[in-house]
């Protein structure tokens, strides 16, 4: 049967069944609409593939020259054309994970308060304020970090941790504190990712069915027990998704971290030692990179950063999937 005949047949039948083949053949407008949306949908993966290919091609000379040493070596010497990205990989992972560790309890606290305890008149303003944190430009966080956070950490938090709590014997808190270090960068990152995690967690908690809460309360649960045993487990996979969204953001954050982390190519166990991240390195050196090997090495760092983000996302998907499966079981 030809398309035209098919269209005529459905018109005759009055109500057309919504099957895709039918829509396709119905009119020119529908076909164009379908074509345009298909192009849009295909453009995004194509763009991503193009970026990945470009970066890998540009990075290839560095990978083939340094091999595995590129990710295990700590030498970064543009004068002698020796490049190893281990300190930057370490710095990116540690600063992001530390930020996650600091931000997640806060974000969950905010979300649970807003979803379960806050009176309706308070909920919107507080939620809006937290969301607004996400709209502050990165460089403003950086400036605030330099002028407010660093002096506060150096004069108040650092002496408290080291002298009052006596933690200076631990390798995490050893060495002189000049303010520009891993901990400063992690704290600013934590503030920056908090709104993402908290907004997602809040929406997920609000989406938990009322019957879930009522069932728990009917069994004699207190409010705390209800949240702990009925609401949060129900929303678990969504909350993990929110945490991972924050982590993805922390991994790629550039400007604020560059301003606070001290930019030193060195792996140190101390959180009071300056460090470096992959994104900061690229931002710092790309504009004035001299020589093909240097540019290629920076591209290779970009490729490693993309790969790291990809692996983190895969782990996140797997976590969400596993949690969702447990919830069903």
Partner 1 sequence: MRRITALFALLALAACSQRDTGSKDRTAAASSGAVDLTGAGATFPYPIYAKWFSVYDSLTGVKINYQSLGSGAGIKQLQEQTVDFGASDAPMSEDDVSKAKGGAVLHFPTVLGAVVITYNLADVTQPLRLTGPVIGDIFLGKITKWNDQRIAALNAGVKLPNADVLVVHRSDGSGTTFIFTDYLTAVSAAWKSGPGKGKEVQWPVGLGGKGNEGVAGQVKQTPGAIGYVELAYARQNSLPVAHVKNTTEAFVAPSIESITAAAAGAMPSLGAGSDYRVSIVNAAGAQSYPISSFTWLLVYQAEPDAGKGQKLVDFLKWMYADGQAMAAALDYAPLPTELRQRLTARLSEIRLGSAAP
Residues that bind partner 1 (CB under 8 A): 75-80, 127, 131-132, 134-139, 146, 150-151, 176, 178-180, 195-196, 199-200, 203, 254-255, 258-259, 262-265, 274, 276, 280, 283-285, 287-290
Q: How far is the CB of 216 from partner 1 (least distance, A)?
A: 25
Other Cβ atoms closer than 10 A to 122 = 12
Could you tell me how far CA 282 lies from the centroid of its own chain?
18
- Report the nearest approach of partner 1 to the CB of residue 203 (Å): 6
The secondary structure of 148-161 as a DSSP string is IIHHHIIIIIHHII
Of the pair 197, 226, the CB lying nearest partner 1 is at 197
Radius of gyration from C-alpha coordinates of the chain = 26
Looking at the Cβ atoms of 127 and 299, the one nearer to partner 1 is 127
Minimum distance, C-beta of residue 199 to partner 1, in the bound complex (Å): 5
Between 10 and 284, name the residue whose CB sits nearer to partner 1: 284
**In the complex, what is the shortest distance from the CB of residue 217 to partner 1, in angstroms, rounded to a whole number?**
26
Query: What CA–CA distance (Å, rounded) separates 172 from 168?
Result: 8
**In this complex, which beta carbon is closest to partner 1, that of residue 16 or of residue 295?**
295
Decide whether 121 or 224 has the Cβ nearer to partner 1.
121
Minimum distance, C-beta of residue 222 to partner 1, in the bound complex (Å): 29
H-assigned helices in the chain: 3-13, 20-24, 28-66, 69-72, 86-112, 120-132, 138-144, 150-152, 158-159, 182-206, 210-218, 223-226, 232-252, 255-260, 278-285, 292-328
């Amino acid at each position: 049967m030809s398309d035209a005949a098919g269209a005529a047949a459905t018109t005759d039948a009055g109500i057309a069944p919504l099957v895709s083949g039918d829509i396709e053949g119905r009119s020119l407008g529908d076909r164009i609409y379908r074509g345009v949306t298909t192009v849009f949908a295909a453009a995004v993966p194509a763009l991503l593939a193009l970026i990945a290919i470009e970066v890998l091609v540009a990075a290839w000379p560095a990978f083939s020259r340094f091999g595995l040493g590129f990710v295990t070596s700590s030498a970064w010497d543009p004068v002698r054309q020796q490049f190893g990205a281990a300190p930057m990989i370490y710095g990116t992972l540690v600063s992001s994970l530390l930020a996650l560790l600091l931000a997640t309890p806060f974000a969950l606290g905010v979300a649970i308060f807003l979803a379960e305890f806050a009176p309706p008149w308070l909920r919107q303003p507080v939620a809006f304020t937290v969301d607004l944190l996400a709209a502050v430009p990165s460089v403003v966080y950086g400036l605030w970090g330099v002028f407010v956070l660093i002096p506060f950490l150096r004069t108040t938090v650092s002496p408290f941790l080291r002298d009052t709590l006596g933690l200076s014997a631990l390798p995490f808190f050893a060495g002189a504190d000049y303010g520009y270090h891993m901990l400063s960068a992690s704290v600013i990152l934590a503030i920056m990712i908090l709104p993402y995690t908290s907004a997602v967690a809040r929406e997920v908690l609000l989406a938990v069915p009322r019957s879930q809460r009522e069932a728990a309360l009917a069994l004699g649960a207190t409010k705390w027990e209800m949240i702990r045993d009925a609401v949060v487990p129900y929303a678990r996979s969504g909350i993990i998704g929110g945490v991972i969204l924050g982590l993805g953001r922390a991994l790629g954050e550039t400007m604020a971290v560059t301003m606070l982390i001290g930019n030193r190519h060195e792996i140190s166990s101390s959180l009071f030692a300056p460090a470096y991240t992959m994104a900061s390195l690229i931002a710092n050196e790309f504009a004035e990179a001299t020589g093909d090997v240097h540019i290629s090495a920076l591209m290779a760092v970009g490729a490693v950063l993309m790969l790291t983000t990809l692996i983190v996302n895969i782990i996140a998907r797997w976590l969400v999937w596993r949690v969702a499966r447990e919830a069903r079981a």
